[in-house]
Amino acid sequence: MALFQLERVAPRLTVDQAWQRLTDWPRHADVAPLTRITVLTEPPTHEGTAFVGRTGVGPLGFDDPMEVTAWEPPPDHTPAHCRLEKHGRLLGGWVDITIHPHPPGGARVTWQEDLRVRGFPRLLDPTVRMGARRAYGYAVDRLLKT
């Protein structure tokens, strides 16, 4: 289990704007190299929404199927919260995205993830954690800026 947490402050975004950027699943493909996202359920996103991130080139790659298991969007929920469960043959685990107001008008994002790479020995969890923290940190930063 490679458990890690990211904290970001987006001073120019409202909670709703940060939420829209981080939960627009197809946009994640814009910040994850060699990845495309296919949403499998009808919009809008809700508990039960399913999507697949496919990373690779041609037949060489892997699928990362995910399901939204908690959906508490703004403005009805403060903080806003979303939970994803990863159900892939290679990647498992979960992601919690929580967005709080950050005075004076910005948003504070917490991205907490438990990433499991099936078949990898637990001895490699620190390496997986470090690489995942860097990759997801880059993606979250880009999603909040674009």
* Percentage with pLDDT > 70 across the chain: 100
> What's the pTM value of the predicted model, to 2 decimals?
0.94
pLDDT in tens, 109-126: 999 999 999 998 999 999
**pLDDT digits 0-9 by tens, 27-65:** 999 999 999 999 999 999 999 999 999 999 989 999 999
Cis omega (within 30 of 0) for bond into 44: yes
CATH, domain 2-145, list 3.30.530.20, 3.30.210.10, 3.40.50.700, 3.40.50.2300: 3.30.530.20
The mean pLDDT value for 94-113 works out to 96
Give residue limits of the domains in the chain. Answer: 2-145
| CA 59 from centre of chain | 24
